[in-house]
Amino acid sequence: NAGVTQTPKFQVLKTGQSMTLQCAQDMNHEYMSWYRQDPGMGLRLIHYSVGAGITDQGEVPNGYNVSRSTTEDFPLRLLSAAPSQTSVYFCASSYLAEETQYFGPGTRLLVL
Amino acid sequence: GNSVTQMEGPVTLSEEAFLTINCTYTATGYPSLFWYVQYPGEGLQLLLKATKADDKGSNKGFEATYRKETTSFHLEKGSVQVSDSAVYFCALSRSNKLIFGTGTLLAVQP
């Protein structure tokens, strides 16, 4: 049981490049979410999904896209990276939003 | 709107000292409340939670009580250890969203 996995662990991008952060879980959780962690800001919700085919925006969705074609996977896409997107990104999952969320190890992204 | 306010850090304590990290919240209705902990270089993991007023969550010697009248969920531990050094996040869950405080860094010295 791997829990929540994220790839890559670390990525450097140039401004304007695109990339996809991968997130997968093997716990059959319906709810999945993406957060970014910045110094002094805590974690802020980017997008979330309550089940396959259903996604919604969180607190800071601009510049990010998501889709949920399977229960297991919830990728986060940066269409045109900006330096303001330099951050640590965490994916999380749970049975329901109100229940305990299980976090992945994070992806550290640097946009130059 | 929904928000969480927790005390600024860092908090520096000697081993075996008493710990309190304050957390207050603003929310519509009755959210679930959580404390998550992040050890250096790792993701977050649940420390404890409470789902209704007057519930007490506890784990690894840490405790927090859901106080509706003061909209608070303060984290306490009677005797901290060096291994408790981490960042602690208070959070509430409401309307399919988990909302975090800014985190409090705890450093415990031997």
pLDDT in tens, A6-52: 999 999 999 999 999 999 999 999 999 999 999 888 899 999 999 99
Chain B residue set in contact with A, beta carbons under 8 Å: 32, 34, 36, 42-46, 49, 51, 89, 93, 95-103
Q: Does A104 touch chain B (CB under 8 A)?
A: yes
Other Cβ atoms closer than 10 A to B20? 10
A48 inside 8 A of chain B by CB: yes
User: Is there a contact between A42 and B103 if contact means CB atoms under 8 Å apart?
Assistant: yes
Closest residue of chain A to B48, computed from CA coordinates = A100
User: Taking CB atoms and an 8 Å cutoff, what residues of chain A touch B98?
Assistant: 33, 45, 92, 97, 101
Kindly report the average pLDDT of chain A as a whole number: 95
pLDDT given for residue B29 in this prediction: 84
Task: Report CB contact under 8 Å: B102, A41.
Answer: yes
- How do residues B12-39 score in pLDDT, each as one tens digit? 999 999 999 999 999 988 899 999 999 9
Tokens of A64: 């990010």
In the structure encoding, which two tokens stand for residue A36, read together? Answer: 């970014």
* Cross-chain CB nearest to A105 (options B34, B43, B101): B43
Among B47, B64, B46, residue whose Cα is nearest residue B55: B64
Chain B CB contacts of A99 under 8 Å are: 32
A3 touches chain B (CB under 8 A): no
DSSP string, B4-48: EEE--S-EEEETT--EEE-EEEE-SS--EEEEEEE-TTS-EEEEE
Q: Does A50 touch chain B (CB under 8 A)?
A: yes
Cβ atoms of A21 and A107 closer than 8 Å = yes
- By percentage, how much of chain B surpasses pLDDT 90? 85
**CA atoms lying within 13 Å on the CB side of residue A111:** 17
Name the region of B16 (left: φ>0; alpha: ψ -120 to 50; beta: rest).
left
Residue for token pair 């608070």: B72
Q: Is the pLDDT of residue B94 over 90?
A: no
